[in-house]
Structure 1
Amino acid sequence: MARNVLGSLLALIGAAAAVWSPFRAWYDGRLGRYYEVGELFSGPGVTDARAELFLSLFLPFLGAALVVLAGVVFRSRPAVALAGLVVLGFTVLWMVRVGQALGELAVRGDGSGLGWGVVGALGGGLLILLGALVMAGRPKRSAAPAAQPPPPSTDTAETRTWDRPPDPPRPG
């Protein structure tokens, strides 16, 4: 029980960090909610266009958080792990596409480059995976033993005297 509680808590904290991350700076002060999910899969890649909230990186992270919530409720380790992989996958895909578009991906001391939003998404994804590892999951169903036939009774008609009428008197 303690493992499920601790794993669930880690996964929920990770999901909250992932959902919160698009509202933080991802690269050069640009918020993650301004990166459109479709740009990650298109030919030109990441552009300067601003995305709507539910078309941005917020959408896959919100979906992953809902899967984490369902996984915690139903104690499903695979569902929680899948959500962690989705968060990490979209974050790494974003990093690759931004690196391709800009020709570099850097962390600089002056605050430009990768921001705290990326850290929140990566940390959230790792916490979700750690939560899935810690969770005990559902108890395994053991195969029910086959119904055993009752043992043979030693109580037979010859030995039972209380349910037969008394023997009639013998002549003679």
Structure 2
Amino acid sequence: MIEIERKFLVTQDTFKELAHSNTRIVQGFLNTNPERTVRIRIKGNSAFLTIKGISNESGLSRFEWEREITIEEAESLLALCEPGVIDKVRFEVEIGDHLYEVDVFKGANEGLVVAEIELKSEDEFFEKPNWIGEEVTGDIKYYNSQLSKKPYTTWAFD
């Protein structure tokens, strides 16, 4: 149950032309401590309870446990979550043998677009399409749990 994931900023919206699906996601956090994040997520017509552990030193790997729950259970649990709901649309784009999940954030995180790719090993090769920009793997401010507390629209930009 170890998740190996890399995360990148997205520089252009051409990924939308390649996407085979897009789904709205609304999520909240019962706990945003990076050592044990507890998330409630409604993704389309499904809902999930997810627990994530602290990332390893490289920021690429961490424990993840997830179970599907009913929409009704998720809605009840969302009411108990810490302030700051994440609202985004996830586009799924296949590049080579991998699936990129590209999140276009809404609401308080409007303007942020992040692509994630899950890998089988930390050194696995993967293709980087031309719409991929700076890697932000391991940068905690890009974790959804942290974006719920300090949204992208509140960041000071030079």
By relative contact order (CA 8 Å, sep 6+), the higher-ranking structure is: 1
TM beyond 0.5: no
- Normalised by the length of structure 1, the TM-score is 0.22
Over alpha carbons, which structure has the higher Rg? 1
- Normalised by the length of structure 2, the TM-score is 0.24
